[in-house]
Structure formats: C-alpha cells, structure tokens
C-alpha cells in the first residue's frame, strides 16, 4: 500500500468520525427537545457540535458493516457494536472524569445504567440506516473527490483541530474532576486550565453530565 493510499484511507476514517460526531449531536439535541420541549446542548467536546460516542459508533459501522450482506446480520451486529461503544464510553468517562452523560438505570433491561434494551434496538436501526443511505453517500462523495491540495489542506487542519479539541476537552474535564476532589493546581498548566476552563464554563458546555 503506497503513501497516498494510506493518507486517503485515513482521511476517509477521519471524516466518517467527524460526520458521526455531528450527526450524533443533532440526534441528541433533537431527541432531547422532543422529549422535554427544551433546547440543551449535548456536545461531548468543548469546541463544536460533536458527540464522540456517535463518531466512534459510525467508525465501527463503516469498518465492519460493509462486510455483511443480510439485513438481520447488519441489525444484530449494529446492536452489538453500538452497545459496546456506548458502554465503554460511559465506563471510561466515569472512570477518568467522574461523570456520566446518560443513565438508563430506570429503563427496561439495562446493564449498569450504561446501555439498555431500547437503545440497543436504536443502534440496530441506525446500522440499517447507515448501510442503506449513509455508507453509499460517503463512498459516492469520496469517489468523486480529487484528493489534491485543497482537500489535503482541509483534512490536515481538521486533523489538528480534532486532536486539539479532544485533548483539551479531556484535560479540562480531568482537571475539573480534580477540583471537585479538592486537589490544588500542581503546575502552570493546571492553573491555565483553572483560569480558562472553570466549573461554570464546563458545566455550561456539558449541561447534561451527571457527577458520579
């Protein structure tokens, strides 16, 4: 596999992840509005309308589902992929940051409140939607792109931005977790995080989080 082929494949995976993050954010905001009648930001990163759990889920769909042919197989594997992704994201969010963004404890057939039967079904449906409409559109778009200077430049900037966004979001959330546990700033970077990402700011960005 030559260098250009590797870059092209990485670019596709990056944009699939970003697309999934944005689509997930829209779904979460819309679902919450329908359920409560109120608008609430449901972003998972500090900067931008991104919900990483959906980005990871769409990446898993993109890598695994095209290998399947039967609709029932797509449905069942999508249930598995989505549920594992959702469980792990919830687990590591609580372990690293002391918070969770969803709790299914009161819903029918749930595991530790992290996943539940109804949303396993939703993941299965999303997998079918992905294979019928989203995946063909992604392939069509990338097959028509001449991956030259402009596209490469945009992808480079998108990569840098997402790395920064994920990193600063994780570090700021970890620092807030330490503040809640009365751990004072240990260095200049901790002070920077305390000044630029205080609790008021973090609670506004992550309005749906639940401290654990």
User: Domain extents for the chain?
Assistant: 3-211
Measured CA to CA in angstroms, residue 38 lies from 29, 30, 32, 33, 101 at distances of: 9, 10, 7, 5, 17
Q: So what's the pLDDT on residue 146?
A: 65
Measured CA to CA in angstroms, residue 211 lies from 27, 96, 119 at distances of: 23, 12, 22
CA proximity to 82, closest of 72, 90, 93: 90
Q: Which residues contact 90 (CB under 8 A, 6 or more apart)?
A: 100, 101, 102, 114, 115
CA proximity to 55, closest of 24, 98, 83: 24
Model confidence pLDDT, tens digit, residues 43-54:
999 999 999 999
Residue 149 pLDDT exceeds 90: no
Q: Which residues contact 176 (CB under 8 A, 6 or more apart)?
A: 97, 197, 199, 202
Model confidence pLDDT, tens digit, residues 59-109:
999 999 999 999 999 999 999 999 999 999 999 999 999 999 999 999 999
pLDDT interval class at 151 (50, 70, 90): confident
Percent of the chain clearing pLDDT 70 (strictly above) = 98
pLDDT interval class at 2 (50, 70, 90): confident
Whole-number Å distance between alpha carbons of 153 and 37? 41
């Amino acid at each position: 596999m030559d260098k250009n082929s590797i870059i092209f494949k990485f670019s596709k995976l990056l944009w699939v992840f970003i697309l999934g993050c944005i689509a997930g954010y829209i779904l979460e905001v819309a679902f919450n509005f329908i359920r409560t009648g109120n608008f609430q930001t449901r972003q998972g990163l500090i900067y931008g309308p991104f919900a990483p759990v959906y980005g990871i889920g769409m990446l898993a769909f993109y890598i695994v589902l095209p290998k399947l042919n039967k609709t029932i197989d797509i449905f069942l594997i999508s249930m598995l992929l989505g549920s594992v992704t959702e469980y792990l994201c919830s687990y590591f969010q609580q372990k690293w940051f002391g918070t969770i963004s969803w709790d299914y404890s009161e819903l029918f057939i749930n595991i530790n409140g992290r996943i539940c039967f109804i949303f396993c079904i939703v993941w299965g449906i999303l997998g079918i939607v992905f294979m019928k409409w989203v995946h063909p559109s992604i392939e069509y778009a990338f097959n028509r792109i001449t991956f030259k200077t402009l596209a490469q430049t945009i992808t480079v900037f998108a990569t840098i931005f997402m790395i920064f966004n994920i990193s600063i979001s994780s570090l700021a959330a970890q620092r807030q977790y330490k503040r809640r546990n009365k751990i004072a700033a240990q260095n200049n970077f901790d002070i920077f995080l305390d000044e630029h990402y205080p609790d008021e700011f973090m609670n506004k960005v992550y309005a749906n989080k639940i401290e654990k």
